[in-house]
Every structure is written in structure tokens, then in C-alpha cells.
Amino acid sequence: MCRKEPGLGKILVAAKQQAIAACEESFQYDRWNCSLVYNRKAKRSIFKKIYRETAFIHALVAASITHAIARGCSSGELSRCSCLGSFQNVSTQLRGGCGDDFKFGKRFTKNFLEWKQAGTDQIAEILKQDVNIGIDVVGQQLREVCKCHGFSGSCTTKTCWKRLGPFNSAMGLLKKHYHHAIKKKLVNYTTKRAITPNVRRKMEVDRKKLVYLQKTPNLCVSTKGRICKDRHNCATLCCGRGFIVGKKSVSSRCRCKMVDCCFVKCDTCVEEVDFFTCK
């Protein structure tokens, strides 16, 4: 696939890095910090079963790929798609501008992640739903951007197009989905037996929610040595084991003043601050 599409490999690598950076920043002070193992000593992967975190990672990957591909279209990095042109709401608008091709990003991501849906029909449906949640979150970030044309700042004509917001905005919504994910039980039935309406009802889930199957194992075994945001955060992150208070020096700009009308000159101040580490 990457050989046939110049630029695709670079975009997928960027999507991976984007997902990792956004996830680690957002979950920096949570018990789960986006690690793909929930027990570092035993090296147990979160992909052994479908935990809440597993469902979230599927959605996160789908969101990041969709976002990166849509942006890749508008920047001209992909040959299979292009800049999405402007749209016209009123007769005075002009065609032009460059929008992010969310529809192409959505279609590409669904096709690209088909391999993640292997397994039983129910598991495949759950993973498919988690992927769709990630894609839809990116779609919710589409915003209309307009540029006015005219003399003296007037807006007699304007060009409008759709642009995606920064990925961190989508990350905020994804984290809400993580906290509101629902646990689902698999329904036991044989492939030879027809799926009755009763069985089908039991298989149905809220299509607007992330879905997982197994309760997350104890994450407290992996929080030793983690740095808390503050004392209050330590109460949760350290799982009641307590924490160690240390001090570190932090440099910052201070006593800034204007010099020769157009330049700002600042001193460097060093301050000692507390930091907290889980026992």
C-alpha cells in the first residue's frame, strides 16, 4: 500500500507519533498513562483482552489516522486525494480555499483498520464500533473557515471551506469517551443456530459509546515511581501507598522590560519547587 501511494508511509508514522504524544500528555497523571502493558514486570499487554484501555486505543488510532490523512489531502502529500475545495452558501461566495478531506480520511481509515476486526462476529462488531467512535470524534472537529475579499476590509465576497481543528481538541473528546465507556458481555450462541430477536437485542449496544468486554486489571502495580501533578493527585495516582516530596530547580523568564523601544529584555530566575513521587 505504501509503495503504491507516495507520502502515505510518512503520514502514517506522523499519525502514530501524534497519537502517542496526545495520549501521553492527556493521561500523564492518570493511573493508566497510555502504556501498552498494564504490568511492567509481567509484561502483560492490554491487547490480550478488550479492556477499557484497549477500546480507547482502537478509537485513538482511528482518530489520529483519519486526522492525518485528511490533513495530508489538503497539503498535497497524497496523490489519491486532493485539497477539498470551498463550498457555496450564498451567491457572493467564490470557489477556492483548501479544506481537509474528512470523507476520504474516514474511508481510508475504515479500510486500513479492517484487520483489527478479526475474531468472532460480536468482537468484530465491538472493535468496529470503537474505531467508528474515533473517526466520528474527528468529524465533530470540522469547522467552517472563511476568507473575505473586498476593498478596505469589506466582505463583498468570501471563500469558505471546512478545516479540522487541532488533534488535541479531538483528544479531549476521546478521553470523555474513555471515562464513559460501557462494559458489555458476549452472548453465547452457536454459528449454526439462528440469531433470534432476543439474542440480537442482547448484542445491541449504544452506538455512541466506547465498548469493552473485560474489567481492567489492577493498575496500581505500575504507578510506583510515577510523578504526581500535586498532592491531591497523589492520593489517586499512588493508590494509598503515600509519596515522597522532593525539590527541583526551575528556570523561567522574569523582570522583563522594554529596551530601546522595540526589544524585550528579561532576566532568568531560578526557583525551587516541590515535586511528588509515588512510593
At 221-251, the pLDDT tens digits run 889 999 999 999 999 999 999 999 999 999 9
| Grid coordinates of 190 | 452457536
Domain residues of the chain, as ranges? 8-222, 223-279
Residue with cell 452558501: 89
Span 117-132, pLDDT tens digits: 555 577 888 889 999 9
Q: Cell for 134?
A: 474515533
pTM for the model: 0.82
CB 211 within 8 A of CB 255: no
Q: Report the pLDDT averaged over residues 6-16.
A: 90
Looking at residue 116, its pLDDT comes to: 52
Distance CA 11, CA 174 (A): 21
CB within 8 Å of 52: residues ≥ 6 apart = 178, 181, 183, 210, 212, 216
Residue 272 pLDDT: 93
Report the SS3 class of residue 167. Answer: helix
Cβ pair 200, 189 in contact under 8 A: no
Structure confidence by residue, pLDDT tens digits, 139-153: 999 998 888 877 766
Strands 263-278 and 243-259: antiparallel
From 3.40.50.1860, 3.30.2460.20, 3.40.640.10, 3.40.140.10, which CATH number describes the 223-279 domain? 3.30.2460.20
Three cell numbers written together for 106: 474516514
Residue of 156 and 257 predicted with greater confidence: 257
Beta-bridged to residue 250, according to DSSP, are 271
